[in-house]
Amino acid sequence: MRPYLLLLGLAVAPSLWAAGPAQFIAEYSAQAGAGFTADAARGKAFAGKNWGVSEKLSSCTACHTENPRNPGRHAVTGKTIQPLSPAVNPERFSDPAKVEKWFKRNCKEVVGRACSPAEKADFIQFVAGAQ
Amino acid sequence: MKRFLIVLAALAALPAWAERNALPTGMPAAYQSECGSCHTPFPPGLLSAADWKATMAGLEDHFGTDASLDAKSAGAISAWLETNASRRIQAAGKPPRLTTTAWFKREHREVPTKAWQDSRVKSAANCAACHRGADQGRYGEREIDIPGIGRWED
């Protein structure tokens, strides 16, 4: 019995301590202020919005497609982009430095400013829950 | 017989050995994770050292994108690019575009127009659209597969 318990513990433990989408949503929601609840529908609208800042990189979905489970393609270079969905691509939303780096770079380029914690929480809620 | 087999094995290994990896050793991890996230991690040998220097000095406006890096990553990437830069390739314009050099055009002169226009190719800088090993620095003929055309054999 004990070896089984140990194995079970090993299998479950990483999801307890490794950063995952839920931790990012919780962290950004806390930053957004009391009473804020992340909303996937708002996140979907945000991802699809044409911000009118960059002609080719007009929205998140211009490169990442409307379905986060699908691979995307860079609208300028044509390079394949691995899916955003952590269910399909477990590397996503696992490294805080990476998550912040890409929000910083892509928000500036596509939205034309830094994204707010509320926008980030909504966005991850949408991406992580995509079926 | 044994000697014959050794020679045969050596010959069989030759093409793979002869096709040098275009991403030389010592590549900083940041080259793949920073530069290689948005476009093919281009081989350093496709531009001169002066052109790599100019490219790295202008990352705030990198073909319309702010691709600026932290000083540590930028330093490591610059050093590796310049060390492994081409000594033969001529200046590639301002800003330098590695798809405009005479070498690039000569190497791709047999590629039909319809391949360049294919939506899966999109850009001449999208090496991996046809060179299926490009992200790992492999540009050998055996790994060429052009969208809408197929395998490339001379």
Q: Is residue A3's pLDDT more than 70? A: no
Mean pLDDT to the nearest integer, B4-21 = 59
> pLDDT tier at A10 (50, 70, 90 boundaries)?
very low
pLDDT at B9: 58
The residue ranges of every structural domain in chain B are 20-149
- Residues of chain A found within 8 Å of residue B63, distances taken between Cβ atoms: 76
Kindly report the nearest CA distance between residue A49 and chain B, in angstroms. 20
Question: What average pLDDT does chain B have?
Answer: 90
Give A131's pLDDT tier (boundaries 50, 70, 90). Answer: confident
Cβ contacts below 8 Å, chain A against chain B, sum to 33
Kindly determine whether residue A76 and residue B129, on different chains, have CB atoms separated by under 8 Å.
Answer: no
Structure tokens that stand for B91 in this block: 């200046």
* Neighbouring C-alpha atoms within 13 Å toward the C-beta of A82: 11
Tell me whether A66 touches chain B (CB under 8 Å).
no
- The pLDDT of residue B118 is above 70: yes
* Contact flag B66-A78 (C-beta cutoff 8 Å): no
Which residue numbers of B have CB closer than 8 Å to A's CBs? Answer: 38-40, 63-66, 120-123, 125-126, 128-129
Beta carbons of A100 and A115 less than 8 angstroms apart: no
What residues have CB less than 8 Å from B146, skipping those under 6 apart? B111, B115, B118, B129, B130, B152
Give the confidence band of A62 by pLDDT, cuts at 50, 70, 90.
very high
> What is the share, in percent, of chain B residues with pLDDT greater than 90?
82
> What pLDDT does residue B154 have?
62
Give the pLDDT mean for A88-115. Answer: 96
Closest CA to A110 of A27, A51, A35, A44: A51
A2 in reach of chain B (CB within 8 A): no
Fold of A19-129: Cytochrome Bc1 Complex; Chain D, domain 2 (1.10.760)
When mean pLDDT is compared across A31-35, B9-13, B130-134, the lowest value belongs to: B9-13
Alpha-carbon distance of B42 to B126, in angstroms, equals 10
**Which residue does chain B place closest to A75, by CA atoms?**
B122
CB atoms within 10 A of CB B58: 15
pLDDT (tens digit per residue) in B14-30 = 444 446 899 999 999 99
pLDDT score of A1 more than 70:
no
Q: Where are the extended beta strands (E) located within B32-126?
A: none
Average pLDDT over residues B49-75: 95
Contact flag A78-B38 (C-beta cutoff 8 Å): no
Cα-based angle B70, B89, A74 (whole degrees, multiple of 5): 50
Confidence of residue A18 (pLDDT cuts 50, 70, 90): low
Average pLDDT over residues B33-39: 95
What is d(CA A76, CA B125) in angstroms, rounded to the nearest whole number? 10
CB of A104 within 8 Å of any CB in chain B? no
Q: pLDDT band at residue A4, thresholds of 50, 70 and 90?
A: low
Q: What is the pLDDT of residue B73?
A: 96
A9 to chain B, minimum CA–CA distance in Å? 33
Q: How far is residue B136 from each of residues B22, B108, B131, measured CA to CA in Å?
A: 8, 20, 10
